[in-house]
Amino acid sequence: MQLFKPEDPRTDRAFLFYPELPPSVVVRAWRFRSEEEYDRETQPEATALRLLQRVIACTRKKSYVVTVSDLDKSSPLRSKKGVLWEWRHSVLPKLCRRSFEVHAATGSSRLAAIIELTDFSFDAWPDVILNWYYGLIVLTDMPFDDMAGEIEKWISTNPRKALGYDYEALGDSLNKCKDIAALRYFPADNGMHETIAIVSNEAFMADEVEGCICTLEKAVESRG
């Protein structure tokens, strides 16, 4: 496991979480399969989902998936369809706890949804959970409405930034809230190992939880 604190150089964690870390926020990162090991598997995404399921089980927290759209021109039809339109015939809309839209001053908006993560077997999950560009997993014990209110602050409407999340706002939120964390999944690619990073208030994760995930990391490493 790698632990990145606010005083550490941002370049050391550039791909995981580049903004300045507020005083109480840290990034913990675990490396799993190498690119060679990842590419050797016939169903690497299925393995990734099983791995995420075990990591989340270690945290003993409720988990939700957040997914966002590109920033695009607002319209009543687009708002009605929502971000889950592509998966409207799947189970995802039934699991969705909240759909919302965040408007920018330019007349554009970003669609978003918070989906309860209760089962890892759905066909749509690779496109939602494993997409680091649009997807984010939230770990928390906060009441849903309180948690959702924090998440809405994380959605970016800055047209100069391609990513769907305002990571500065996310860091500020985690600095204030000890009961919420953001999990980011990165597949093995471009010479990098498959990586799971958890960004949280330093007090969020107990030693036994950290140890549980480290055990998974070592188990995957030994199989490689």
* C-alpha–C-alpha distance, residues 30 and 11, integer Å: 17
23: its two tokens:
């005083």
What pLDDT does 111 receive? Answer: 96
Predicted confidence at residue 171, as pLDDT, reads 93
Q: How far apart are CA 66 and CA 186, in angstroms?
A: 15
Q: How many other CB atoms are there within 10 angstroms of residue 16's CB atom? A: 19
What is the per-residue pLDDT for 223?
73
In one-letter notation, the amino acid at residue 65 is: V
What value, to the nearest 5°, has the Cα angle with vertex 164 and ends 202 and 177? 25
pLDDT for 163 equals 80
Per-position pLDDT tens, the chain of length 224: 999 999 999 999 988 998 899 999 999 999 999 999 999 999 999 899 999 999 999 999 999 999 999 999 999 999 999 999 988 888 888 888 999 999 988 899 999 999 988 877 766 677 888 888 899 999 998 999 999 999 999 999 988 877 889 999 999 999 998 899 999 999 999 889 999 999 999 888 888 888 899 898 888 877 75
The set of residues, in sequence order, having a beta carbon less than 8 Å from that of 44 and lying 6+ positions away, is 33, 38, 187, 188
Alpha-helical regions (H) of the chain: 35-40, 44-59, 76-81, 92-95, 125-128, 144-152, 167-176, 207-223
How, if at all, do strands 135-140 and 108-116 pair? unpaired
Domain parsing of the chain, residue ranges: 2-9+18-218
Residue 118: per-residue pLDDT: 81
Q: Which helix (H) or strand (E) holds 20?
A: none
What is residue 202's three-state secondary structure?
A: helix
User: Both tokens of residue 48?
Assistant: 């990734």
